[in-house]
A and B are shown apart, each in its own frame.
Chain A
Amino acid sequence: MSTIYILWLRQLKRYLRSKSRIVGSLGQPLLFLVALGFGFGPIFQKAGGGNYIQFLTPGIIAMSILFTALFSGIEIIWDKQFGFLKETLVAPVSRLEIMIGRTFGGATVALMQGVIVLLLSFIVGFRITNIWLVGLALVFMFIIAIIFSALGTAIASLLNDMQGFQLIMNFLIMPLFFLSGALFPLNGLPKALNSIIKINPLTYGVDGLRGALTSVNNFYLVHDLLLLGGIAVILLIIGSYLFSKIQV
């Protein structure tokens, strides 16, 4: 059993043992899906956008993955002061191994959440258009999970308590989410926002996921995949660097 594996396993065990947390964190994505889906559905259809549930579901899946992955990275702040992190920092293992194990564990948990949301979305009428691309959809989901898990780790390595977290949520995460095309198409938005949209990893993640699940995408799926992969690697490097600099 290696270090990376046992850290990965720990994330999974913690997730699977907390039934209330699983159910609770499904609440928000489902609420959004149902409320927005049926609320804006008729308007979207009338405006010529087609079936809103089809459009929205990949965005909601991405949303649940984003938040689950981010929070698993942020958990480090709690581990920092309440002890468990010290146990890993004092052990004769490299910080890189710890960071990789945690990040991939958190990403796996987020992926599982995303799959549950996908399955539940069938109940409200979502349909996959191309069964052969489900594998690709899972790949997109996993890369989004890695990106935000690594981002969560990077942020948590810099913060010492949860105060700064609110700021990050409102000024970084929510804008990234809203400007990703998850909830509404990006075509009609003011040109000024283009730069943010272009550098937002979630834009490509949502586009790729939507393309794989519903065959509707603005960019080439290959481009999405490559860009996401590149961003994931960069964030993993940044995350590892910042994690290695933690002093408890």
Chain B
Amino acid sequence: MIDVTNLTKRFNTLTAVDNISFSVSKGEIFAFLGPNGAGKTTTIKMVTTLLRPTSGKILLNGNDVLQNPKEARRSFGIVFQDPSLDDELTAYENMEFHAVLYKVPKDVRKIRIEQLLTFVELWDRKNDLVKNFSGGMKRRLEIARGLIHHPKILFLDEPTLGLDPQTRTHIWAYIKDLNEKEEMTIFFTTHYMDEAEKVAQRIAIIDHGRIITQGTPNELKESTKTNSLEDAFLKLTGTPIREEEVNSSDRMRLGRRIRRPH
């Protein structure tokens, strides 16, 4: 379903992603783990057509992402780390917007929106403006939205970051349900190793732009002779804290708290 071969991304002198290759089969739940600045987000961006690779090949559901981006985009849904909802629109309108963009036929649209909003328990808030939603609600809405066009693959970048345990449990329950019922391929990144251990069937660990190792949680624990995925991860990537370059998104996030533009 997802086939990445020799993927590389260079920004001037920095090699953010260095010749990585991995495959995710249909219906698999795959986790992509790594310290800050390892190259996870850059990889996801390339796989989801937001960033052009320097070299390498990416196939999504058989579609070459570089030759055929439009087709490739139809095959996945994505829940970004930063909310990508329109705060000034209602939950229903956000769903509808997505449905139109993904060419979901009109007669089917209404039914799916209702189904999905009910699935994430937001149907009674459908006409509320998203700016009045909590972080957990926004994330649930994003998951519902990502699914409207019934994608074969769902990408999630740190899906439970900053959420309370109840919401986190719910979200993973939704995701596992989708995986079991629809055979949806799931690709996610996270820092919560306990979740990755419970949910993922296979894991790739990335550091300094390279994949260090891939395998099931048990395989990783065995090969590093540790008891938890977190210990295995720390053993493989080391304990020093990685500094990340402040990117413009961080600058804007902090700047926004101080001053409104106009």
Docked Cα-Cα span, A81 to B247, in Å, equals 10
* B242 located at the interface, meaning its Cβ lies under 8 Å from any Cβ of chain A in the complex: no
Q: B100 and A13: CB pair below 8 A?
A: no
* A46 located at the interface, meaning its Cβ lies under 8 Å from any Cβ of chain B in the complex: no
Q: B106 and A92: CB pair below 8 A?
A: no
Min distance, Cβ B155 to any Cβ of chain A, angstroms: 9
* B74 located at the interface, meaning its Cβ lies under 8 Å from any Cβ of chain A in the complex: yes
- Which single residue of chain A is at the shortest CB-CB distance from B129? A17
* A132 located at the interface, meaning its Cβ lies under 8 Å from any Cβ of chain B in the complex: no
Given contacts A81-B248, A90-B50, contact A248 B45 (CB under 8 A): yes
Docked Cα-Cα span, A13 to B127, in Å, equals 14
Q: Which residues of B contact A90 (CB under 8 A)?
A: 48-50, 73, 78
Q: A1 and B100: CB pair below 8 A?
A: yes
Docked Cα-Cα span, A10 to B262, in Å, equals 20
- Contact-residue size bin, chain B (C-beta under 8 Å from the other chain): 35 or more
Q: B101 and A6: CB pair below 8 A?
A: yes
Q: B85 and A81: CB pair below 8 A?
A: no
- With beta carbons under 8 angstroms apart, the residue of B101, B129, B252, B262 that contacts A161 is B252
Q: Which residues of B contact A45 (CB under 8 A)?
A: none
- Interface residue ranges of A61-84 to B (CB < 8 Å): 71, 78, 81-84
Q: Mark B77-111, 1 if CB is under 8 A from A, else 0.
A: 01010111110110001001110111100100000
- Which single residue of chain B is at the shortest CB-CB distance from A88? B101
Docked Cα-Cα span, A237 to B89, in Å, equals 29
Q: A17 and B88: CB pair below 8 A?
A: yes
Docked Cα-Cα span, A92 to B148, in Å, equals 13
* B70 located at the interface, meaning its Cβ lies under 8 Å from any Cβ of chain A in the complex: yes
* A226 located at the interface, meaning its Cβ lies under 8 Å from any Cβ of chain B in the complex: no
* A93 located at the interface, meaning its Cβ lies under 8 Å from any Cβ of chain B in the complex: yes
Q: Which residues of A contact B101 (CB under 8 A)?
A: 3, 6, 87-88, 91-93
- With beta carbons under 8 angstroms apart, the residue of B48, B50, B82 that contacts A82 is B82
Which residues of B line the A interface, CB within 8 A? 45, 48-52, 70-71, 73-74, 78, 80, 82-86, 88-89, 93, 96-98, 100-103, 106, 129, 248-249, 251-253, 255, 261-262
The 8 sampled A-B contact pairs (Cβ below 8 Å) are A6-B96, A13-B88, A14-B88, A81-B253, A82-B82, A82-B83, A86-B80, A91-B101
Apart from A90-B48, A161-B252, what 14 extra A-B contacts exist at CB < 8 Å?
A1-B100, A2-B100, A6-B100, A14-B89, A17-B88, A71-B262, A78-B261, A83-B82, A83-B83, A85-B84, A87-B98, A247-B50, A247-B51, A248-B51
